[in-house]
Chains A and B, each alone.
Chain A
Amino acid sequence: DAMVIQNPRYQVTQFGKPVTLSCSQTLNHNVMYWYQQKSSQAPKLLFHYYDKDFNNEADTPDNFQSRRPNTSFCFLDIRSPGLGDAAMYLCATSRDRGGLQKLFFGSGTQLSVL
């Protein structure tokens, strides 16, 4: 089945130690998104790629970076994780931009910062 896969399911890192979360998709969608979801809060869009075009949200901290080496893969890099970065990170895809945007989500990576 075509899907969005996130690895790992759980990630534990130390304060200040760089960490990378990965996402892959078999849907061949043009757009890939990274959302941060904290408990009882709305998923917050960090950034997205439309093909190779990177679009950063204005309030996304510089500590968060992303890479999309090809259509199928997208990575979220946290350069120096702080305690406040502990959250669920959700990757999503959509076929195209604008109009009706059906987002397909992965199961998420739960990040803990010790």
Chain B
Amino acid sequence: GEDVEQSLFLSVREGDSSVINCTYTDSSSTYLYWYKQEPGAGLQLLTYIFSNMDMKQDQRLTVLLNKKDKHLSLRIADTQTGDSAIYFCAESRDSGGGADGLTFGKGTHLIIQP
């Protein structure tokens, strides 16, 4: 079965690093994704990582993947007020069955303290 788990809230001070964690169950997922949802908007792709990679860095974003533990994390360096949003972890459903679409977690609300 497919299930993606993440904590619902994370509060950080402006300027600190934010680390959002996620666990997933489908070990055959080829790609794992992070999406961002701002108030009143749809989901926007932030970054993704191929399953044979351990780390991917893109400017302030660092994705870490521990495939053995099925654990994915997103680190946002120097967190700004504009980073306040809901962050969704997602896994692809292309586990050999040719399924399309992504399975999402419930999302982590990132709250920035001044």
Contact = CB atoms under 8 A, between A and B. Distances in A.
Nearest to A33: B101
A7 interface: no
Interface residues of B, number: 25
Nearest to B5: A42
A40 B92 CA distance: 21
Contact of A50 (B50, B100, B105): B100
A78 interface: no
Contacts of A105: 42-44
A94 B35 CA distance: 14
B104 A101 contact: no
Interface of A: 4, 6, 31, 33, 35, 40-43, 45, 48, 50, 55, 90, 92, 94, 97-108
Given A97-B100, A98-B98, A104-B45, 14 more contacts: A4-B42, A33-B101, A35-B104, A42-B88, A48-B100, A48-B101, A55-B100, A97-B94, A98-B94, A99-B92, A101-B94, A101-B100, A101-B102, A103-B101
